[in-house]
Amino acid sequence: MTNNTVEARRAVFLDRDGVLNQVVIRGGKPFPPSSADNVELIPGVTEACASLRKAGALLFCVTNQPDVARGTARREDIMAINLRLQRELSLDDVATCYHDDGDGCACRKPKPGMLIELAFRHSVNLSRSVMVGDRWRDVEAGINAGCQTVFIDYDYNEQRPANVDFAGRSLTEVLPWILKNFLNTESFF
């Protein structure tokens, strides 16, 4: 692959729970669905992903799933959710961290390991890519990987990101900014 091809490859890294699918809120904090049968896409996500793909972006889901390490979720259930989302949204790839904070892995957001691995595997230029997430860890992972960052703000009862390039209330709301300022197009469909 030539250097120019690598330069042209752009990606949108999407957090899973709260960006692509609905979360369950308990105590002001978001929690993932328990199974693929319980997954409910956020309204407008299918169309937003189609618009990003049409604009030439590769689409990746990057998700922390520490409940596996904590023993409160099964890896098979997480993989089934990921597969369902990958199929329904035509995602190019999904990366999952099953570790908890104390495990010291390189993949758990806010560390950039999942983004770096996907970028390497798919020849993506991280400086021309964007990370979209609804938690501070997502934004920090994007910054740590050298991406632009978009924060979906649901006003959770938790730490907020310190720096972000753009913020909105849904993927649909931030889509015009990504298309215009990042992917250099205003074509939505």
Residue 40's CB is within 10 A of a number of other CB atoms, namely 9
Q: In this structure, is the dihedral angle defined by the CA atoms of residues 175, 180, 186 and 189, taken in order, positive or negative?
A: negative
Contact assessment for residue 107 and residue 68, using Cβ atoms and an 8 Å cutoff = no
Is 17 annotated as catalytic?
Answer: yes
Is 15 annotated as catalytic?
Answer: yes
Tally of residues, the chain: 189
The residue to which tokens 């994007």 are assigned: 142
The residue to which tokens 């308990």 are assigned: 26
Residue 22's CB is within 10 A of a number of other CB atoms, namely 17
The residue to which tokens 């960006």 are assigned: 19
H and E: helices and strands count for the chain: 7, 8
Residues whose CB falls within 8 Å of the CB of residue 181, separated by 6 or more in sequence, listed in order: 166
- Pair of tokens at residue 103: 């495990």
Active site positions, annotated: 15, 17
